[in-house]
Structure 1
Amino acid sequence: MDYDDAYANAEYIPNAADYPPRWAAAAQAFRDALSAAGRARLNLSYGPTDRQAVDLFFPDGQATGLLVFVHGGYWRRFGRQEWSHFATGALDSGWAVAMPGYDLCPDVSIAQITGQVAHAIAMVADKVPGPIRLAGHSAGGHLVARMANVLPGAVRDRVERVMPISPVADLRPLLLTKMNDDFRMDADAAAAESPVLTPRPQMPVTVWVGGDERPVFLDQARWLADAWGASCVVEAGKHHFDVIDGLRDPKSEMMKTLLG
């Protein structure tokens, strides 16, 4: 198997290059609108670098609880600012939404990113009372799966559901990709950061993946669901870039599952 090709997404998605600028433009318009309405608290610092910050959005009225969405990008790309508009579905359902940023490889290790995200969630959990739901996409799916075991106990006890979307749940195959030049993992590090090798969490977990994704992502989703005894939803007709579109629609099956 050519592992670099197997884990490549953009090369197999029509007009893939159009997605990042479209996400960025929609996210900026969303932040501008929520800021003008007094419903956004941006750049809440939780650590010493600029990327260690959280954007927090509020619904119109008292929040039912807190959804945390962790972005992807193979731990090497993007930031919290490109994804703000994906808070729409939860906000329209009456939930506050936090979107943490984090430092990227190769400046830090994946294990350090895991620690940063845990720190960010603990910080923002103090600002919004009530239940917590976690969702993350791709590398973010890996990170929210890791949160099921690494969050501080008082915060973890508030987490009512975790939804890894198209996650990388077993990092060991990535040792065979060129991306590992940035990850700098050895076998022990990859195993330690692989959710499939961690204890089954106490809270409910739903793994979500697109039916048109690369075969390895369908495998990764199934591996995590099997390891944790979790449900796995394969959404027909969705690829790696549009599988998260359901987050924008409060009536989508994704949002009903995540917040219901």
Structure 2
Amino acid sequence: MDLDDAYANHTHIPGADDYPPRWDEAARSFRQRLGAVNRARLAIPYGPKTRNELDLFLPLGKPEGLLIFVHGGYWRRFGRGDWSHFSDGALLSHWAVAMPSYTLCPEATIPEITDEVTQAVIRAAEELPDMPIRLAGHSAGGHLVARMLEPGRLPDAVASRIEAVMPISPVADLEPLLRTSINDDLRLDEDTARAESPIHQPKPKRPVTVWVGADERPAFLDQARWLAEAWDAQLEIEDGRHHFDVIDGLADPESAMMRRLLG
């Protein structure tokens, strides 16, 4: 099997080049709109590096909880500013949303990124103390939010507030990536790939829903199934969705995705 092709989304999605600029435009407009009414707190630092910042978006009135969303891009691309508009589903459900950036590969290794996201979750939790937390992440971000459930990774005071987690189209077993050209940037070896694979973590003690699009590449459907099986988690395969539009439900408070995530 050609694993480069198996894990390639861009070449198998019609109009793939249109998605990033469309996301960027929608996210920019969203930040301007919320900033104008003092509901956007941008570039909150959580660590010493340039990309160690998060954006916090606030609903009207007192938040009922905090959703932390971690972006994807194969650990090599994008940042928090590309996804701001996907906060809308949670905001309209009266939840605040935090979106961190993190240092990208190859400048950082995946273990270093995992540590950065750990600090981002801790910092976001400090911004809204005592509120329940839900975690969601897409693709590489799905991997990263799953890693937050490793026992002892987060302080007990933060971990105890996490009520549910949704890895969306996650990479849950990193070992196949050792045989792809992606690993030129990721710089994984066998030990690191295994250590960073959520499928090898203990089964979490909180609800997890693994969400994936029915029209995704078979490799991503496999990855979602592997994680759901390893963790005895709920698996949702959404009809008519591929890797780039499977997150659209995050922007709609009435979507099945948001009802599951915040319900």
User: TM-score, normalising length from structure 1?
Assistant: 0.99
2:240 to 219, 237, 242: 237
Alignment partner of 1:169 out of 165, 168, 172: 172
- Residue 65 (structure 1) aligns with: 65
The alignment's TM-score, normalised by the length of structure 2, stands at 0.98
| Number of equivalenced pairs | 260
> What one-letter code is carried by the residue in structure 1 that aligns with 2:254?
K
Instruction: Give the drift of 1:190.
Output: 0.1
Rounded to whole Å, the distance in 2 between the matches of 1:167 and 1:127 is 27
Partners of 2:207 and 2:118 in 1: how far apart? 18
| Equivalent position of 1:34 in the other structure | 34
Partner residue, 2:93 = 93
Aligned partners of 1:50, 1:85: CA distance in 2, in Å?
23
| Deviation per residue, 1:94-124 (Å, 9 max, x gap) | 0000001000000010000000001011011
1:214 corresponding residue in structure 2: 217
| Corresponding position of 2:208 | 205
TM-aligned CA deviation for residue 85 of structure 1: 0.2
Q: Write the letter of the residue equivalent to 1:117.
A: V
Q: Does 1:134 align with 2:135?
A: yes
Q: After TM superposition, where is structure 1 displaced by more than 2 Å over at least 4 residues in a row?
A: none
Residues 110-168 of structure 1 show CA distances to partners (whole Å, capped at 9, x for unaligned) of 00000000101101101113100000000000000001112222111100000000000
What are the Cα deviations for residues 64-115 of structure 1, in whole angstroms up to 9, with x where unaligned? Answer: 0100000000000000000000000000000000001000000010000000
Quote how far apart the aligned CAs of 1:199 are: 0.7
Shift of 1:48: 1.5
Amino acid at match of 1:132: I
When the two chains are superposed, the root-mean-square deviation of aligned CA atoms in Å is 0.5
Aligned to 1:77: 77
Distance 1:6 1:255 in 2: 29
In 1, Cα distance between the equivalents of 2:14 and 2:154? 38
Deviation at 1:59, TM superposition (A): 0.1
